[in-house]
Structure 1
Amino acid sequence: MVMAPRGPRLTLLLPLILLAATLAQLSEGASYRQFVRQHVNHPKTGAPNDRIYCNLLMQRRGLTRPRCKPTNTFIHAPTSQLRNICGRGGRPVSGNLRDSIRSFSVTTCRVLPGSQPGRCRYRAATGVTRVRVACVRQLPVHLEPTYLP
């Protein structure tokens, strides 16, 4: 004879399910906020040159500790335009990846050899290109590598 779950077990299970759902939603929001922190700089922060721009932004955005992030791309567009890639402004590629229909001004920062955490130095490449993002709940949460010369 199979016994049905008793009340106390069910009452413990329901809060755990609700907690898991809430944490999943919070992490998706955190992923979008992380995407913005790591990849959006609009309007572009002023700097004497693009090398200084990369050194400054990578440090300001917390991308130089605990290690020097090897490569990072900043997109110089409003967040509304980037969110639109997950809707009408993007084309599906595969899974949750979407290519932007329009091109964006970007700066890609690449770490220089010999850089140390806290003293990371970068070279910069600027250009105008389409971008590929991963979307979760109509929000960009990941930027695929952007290749500039």
Structure 2
Amino acid sequence: MSPEYAAEGLFSIKSDVFSFGVLVLEIVSGKRNKGFQHSDHDLNLLGHVWNLWNEDKASELVDATIFIEDELSRLELLRCIQVGLLCVQQRPDDRPTMSSVIIMLNSDSPNLPQPKHPGFYYERSFSEGPSSSNIISYEKNVTFTTLEGR
């Protein structure tokens, strides 16, 4: 779900682009954004990918079951990660159109734009309270509470 839809109920074609980007990153990583866990941090999948991208370690994201036969295959997967990150940028105006996404995925050009900060990049901080609910704190000091049954 795109940040603008979750926060304000605004839906546009750029909301679909956001969802497509999440899907691309889930396919490449073999992990789901919802419930993503990593032993080194409490970031969600988008935060994890963003950190790997900024550390020039994006190839570590690729699911081990994806067979990479040569350097070209590796570069194509890195292109998918970059396009996925472009699709999940925080601001809808920064996200490409789907027609641009198709061109970027089919292109051999190494000159793609650099992605900006993704939407819903957060670190989870879970706390147990008397109602046994999980509190998830997002950037911008917005808090979502999920109640769980006993």
TM-score, normalised via structure 1 length: 0.26
Give the structure with the larger helix fraction.
2
More strand by share: 1
